[in-house]
Chains A and B, each alone.
Chain A
Amino acid sequence: MRSQLSLTCSLTILAWFCFLVLGLVRCQNAAASNVELKVLDPRAELFTNPSVPINPRLKSLEGKKIGILNNSKPGADDFAPALMQVLKETYPGIQFKMWVIPYNEYPNKANDLKALAEWSDAVVGMMGD
C-alpha cells in the first residue's frame, strides 16, 4: 500500500514536471515567432524561349560540310584552325567554312547566320574568350 502511494506520488510529480516543461517550451515558441517581417521577392522571372529539339545528329562526319561559328574572340581564332586540322585527320573528305560573328551582332547578321545554316550539314560554335 505504502509502495503504491509512493509510486502514485512519483508519477504525479513527474506528470506535473512534464506539464511545466511543456508549458515553458510552448511559451518560448510563442515568444520566438512573435515578430514577422514580410517582404516582396526581388528576383525577376526569367524570359525563356520555348524549347525546340536539336537537329538530328549526323551518322558520320565523312564528306560533310561543317560550319564554324567563330565568336571573334582570340581563343576562337586560335582553336578553330586546330579543330579543323584534327577533324580532317580523321575525316579526309570533311569540308569547313568559318563565319566570324560576335554574339551581339546576331540581330544585324541574320543573313550571315542564315547562310551559315544553309551551307552547313552541322555547325560548331565557340563560347568564351
Chain B
Amino acid sequence: MVDTTPFRADSINAATGAGVPDLPIVALSEPTVAGKPKEEVLRIARLAKPDVIAALTKDPPTKTVLAASPLKPKPAKLLTFSGLTATAAGEEMEKYFLANKWSDGLPLVPATPEAVEAMLKGTNLPRDYVVGMVDPKKGIATVEKIAINAVMAGARPAYLPLLIAVVQGLTDPAFDLYGVQVTGGLAAPMIVVSGPIIRDLNLNFSYSTAGPGWRANSTIGRAMRLILINLGQAWPGINDMKDVGNPAKFGIVIAENEQQMPPGWPTLRESEGFGKQTSTVSVYASQSFRQIHDSQKYLMPTIPMKPIVDPMIARLMSTSLNATAEQWGEEMMVVFCPVMANILAKNGYTPDKIQKELWETGRISRRLFGPRPLGSYAVSSGIPQWIDDLPDDAMVPVVPKPEDIKVVVAGGRGPGVGFLVDRWGFGNSHFVTKEIKLPPNWADLVNEVKAWQTPIEVK
C-alpha cells in the first residue's frame, strides 16, 4: 500500500483490521500529492520507487500473528483511583482519562458499577449485546460500553434507548463512520430526533434547539462523542485527521418541533418511512451551518413569494463549498424554524415542493462542479456520465434527486431564522434514520427523568 505520512496510522489500522498486519506500506515523501504539478508528482514517485519495488519483492521483516476477536466480549474491567478525599480520587480519574485520551476534555461523571447498573435499566437488552462495531478501530459496542459512556456524559437511563439507536445509525454501513471519523474534512455526526420521545425526555425542540441548557440534548450529544472516542478510538492527529476540527464534534442534538409544524406537513420520521407513533433518531455527517434568514421575504407575505427558496437557500446551496463533485452523492439538510415553515405552507409549499424547487434552483455550473473529465470523482460520488458530458455553462444539481434534500422543522417562533447544514462529502455518508425501541419499563424511566427537566419556551 502507498500512503502519505498523515495517514500512516490509518493505513496500519486498515491493514491490521483486514487481517494483514504485515502488509508493506510505503509512505510518500510529501504529506499530499493531490493537485501538485505533474513534474513534482513524478519526482515524488521516483523517490518512492525503490521502496515500492522492495515492498513487492522482499519479504517483510516480521510475521505477525493476531488472534481473532473473542466471540463474546468480556465485561468491562474495574479501574481504581485513590485520593485523600472523594474529590481528589475523582481528579485522579480525570487526569488518568485525559492522559490516555479517553476524555472529551470536560469533567466526567464517574462510571461506577452502581451508576452503570442504574443506566442499564434503560434497556431490556443484555449488557453484552453487541449493537455494532464502531469505526475506525472496530470497537465492539456492547450495551454495557454504551451505558458506561452515557454515564460519563451525564445522561439519564431514559436516554439509553435513544443512544442505542444512535449507535445503530452510526454503525450502519450507509453512514460511512470510518470516513467521517478519519477524514481531514470537517465532518461531525449530528442527531435529529422525531417523535413522542421528544416530550418524554424533555428534549428541547424550541428556541435554541441546537444549543445548551437541556440535559437530554446536551448529554446525548456528549455521550455520542465519548462513544466515538472510546469505542471507535479515533484521536486527533493519530487517525482523526481533521486539521481544525469542528465545533459540532461536541455533539449537536436537535428535535423536531412537531406541534408548531404546518398542519398536514409530514414529520421527519414519516418522510423517512416510519409510522407517526414511533420515535426515530437520524444521524447526519454535518460539516457547517449556514444561516437562512430573509426577513423581508418571510415576514412580509405581501411581497411576491415565488420562487421563495431561490434567492436564499438555493444560493447558499450553489455557493457552498460542498456543491461539487466530491459531495454529490450525499444528502443536504435544511432546518426551517416554525415561522418560516408556516409562511411557506401559507404560500402553498409542502416539503415535497420545497425539495423539488431547491433541487431545480440550487445548482452549480459544470465548470465549477469538477474537473473534466470527472475521473475518480464520478466513481466515488456515483455521478452519471451525462453530467460529466454537460457543457461548462450547464447547471448541475447539487444532489442527485429532490428527496436528498432533507427538510426539518425545528426551533422556536422567533424572527424567522433557520439553517442549511452542509454535508461532509469526501466519502459517501448518508442520512440514516433508525427507530428508537423502547423497553417495557418505559413509563418508569420517563417518570424518573421528569426531575431532570428544564422548561421549554413555546410561543
Contacts and interface: CB of A to CB of B under 8 A. Distances in A.
B7 A44 contact: no
B409 interface: no
B57 A61 contact: yes
A83 B52 contact: yes
B230 A82 contact: no
A78 interface: yes
A41 to B, nearest CB: 4
A128 to B, nearest CB: 4
Interface stretch (B349-357, B374-382, B411-419, B432-440): B374-382
A41 B23 CA distance: 32
Contacts, number: 249
Contacts of A31: 84
B contacts with A: majority SS = mixed
Interface stretch (B28-36, B273-281, B283-291, B309-317): B28-36
B376 A70 contact: yes
B300 interface: no
B226 interface: yes
B20 A52 contact: yes
A19 B451 CA distance: 55
Nearest to A51: B66
B292 to A, nearest CB: 31
B42 interface: yes
A95 to B, nearest CB: 14
B61 to A, nearest CB: 12
A75 B48 contact: no
Contacts of B152: 42
Contact of B42 (A45, A86, A102, A104): A86
Contacts of B271: none
Interface string B65-107: 1111110011011111111111011101100000000100000
Interface of B: 1-4, 6-7, 10-11, 14, 16-25, 28, 32-36, 38, 41-42, 44-46, 48-49, 52-53, 56-60, 63-70, 73-74, 76-86, 88-90, 92-93, 102, 110-113, 116, 133-134, 137-142, 144-145, 148-149, 152, 173, 176, 178-179, 184, 226, 230-231, 233, 375-377, 379-380, 426-428
Given A32-B82, A53-B63, A127-B1, A107 B173 contact: yes
B266 to A, nearest CB: 30
23 contacts: A35-B83, A36-B82, A37-B82, A38-B81, A40-B113, A42-B145, A46-B138, A48-B16, A48-B66, A48-B67, A48-B69, A51-B64, A51-B65, A74-B376, A75-B34, A78-B36, A79-B44, A103-B179, A122-B56, A124-B56, A127-B1, A127-B10, A128-B10
Contacts of B92: 37
Nearest to A50: B68
Contacts of A51: 16, 19-22, 64-66
Interface of A: 31-54, 56-61, 66, 70, 72-79, 82-83, 85-87, 90, 100-105, 107, 122, 124-129
Report which residue of A38, A39, A70, A76 has the largest number of chain B beta carbons within 10 angstroms of its beta carbon.
A39
A57 B23 CA distance: 11
A57 B59 contact: yes
Nearest to B35: A74
Contacts of B89: 35-37
Given A44-B233, A102-B427, A35 B49 contact: no
